[in-house]
Chains A and B, each alone.
Chain A
Amino acid sequence: GNSVTQMEGPVTLSEEAFLTINCTYTATGYPSLFWYVQYPGEGLQLLLKATKADDKGSNKGFEATYRKETTSFHLEKGSVQVSDSAVYFCALINMDSNYQLIWGAGTKLIIKP
């Protein structure tokens, strides 16, 4: 079946540090991959997505590359800010999931000034 595994949080970093949040998936076929972000007290927002192997999604300084050989979609940012503090969710969607989003558990990110 389909599943998404994310690194456990919380991840605590200092401002301007480099960020990596790991995400690996199990899926048949060729899923599309997403990162959603949930800021405190808010709903989820799409951060970036990639729909095929080797695609790189990017937004607001965040990047993730769809790696089919390692079934991974790790989220990276070169220099984090306090305002990036949030919960980050990795998710996939494909025909086998009946095009429903399959979610990772979420990773809480805390950025200290």
Chain B
Amino acid sequence: DSGVTQTPKHLITATGQRVTLRCSPRSGDLSVYWYQQSLDQGLQFLIQYYNGEERAKGNILERFSAQQFPDLHSELNLSSLELGDSALYFCASSVDAGTSSREQYFGPGTRLTVT
């Protein structure tokens, strides 16, 4: 158990809908990272937050957004969903701002299926 929790575990929704994925980092970790894992694209970094502020952006679509709250949990919002958004979404956390090579600890993931 990494100490990172994600909810829900599974999510099935229809095209055009909007969903929110939730992540709670390990106790003491200030950074939260979101990743998408799909069969065709592999593992892709989406976005990082550090202590409530956006720290780095990866291949995140404009239809997606995220935030980190004062209690350090984070939410990833996916809107106008398309079939191609079906994937595993992972959250990871680390203790620092991402200015070093500290390892990231991953949650179990949320499997999103868009029908």
Contacts and interface: CB of A to CB of B under 8 A. Distances in A.
Contacts, number: 47
A43 B45 contact: no
Contact of B103 (A46, A94, A103): A46
Interface residues of B, number: 23
A99 B108 CA distance: 22
A43 B100 contact: no
B43 A93 contact: no
B108 A42 contact: yes
B35 to A, nearest CB: 9
Interface string B45-80: 100100000001010000000000000000000000
Nearest to A95: B99
Interface residues of A, number: 20
B91 to A, nearest CB: 9
A49 B94 CA distance: 15
A93 B101 CA distance: 6
Given A43-B90, A44-B90, A44-B106, A99 B43 contact: no
Given A46-B104, A98-B98, 19 more contacts: A36-B106, A42-B108, A43-B2, A43-B90, A43-B106, A43-B107, A43-B108, A43-B109, A46-B103, A46-B105, A98-B56, A99-B98, A99-B100, A100-B48, A101-B45, A103-B42, A103-B43, A105-B42, A106-B42
- Identify the 4 closest CB pairs spanning chains A and B, nearest first: A32-B101, A43-B106, A44-B106, A99-B98
Interface of A: 32, 34, 36, 42-46, 49, 51, 89, 93-94, 98-101, 103, 105-106
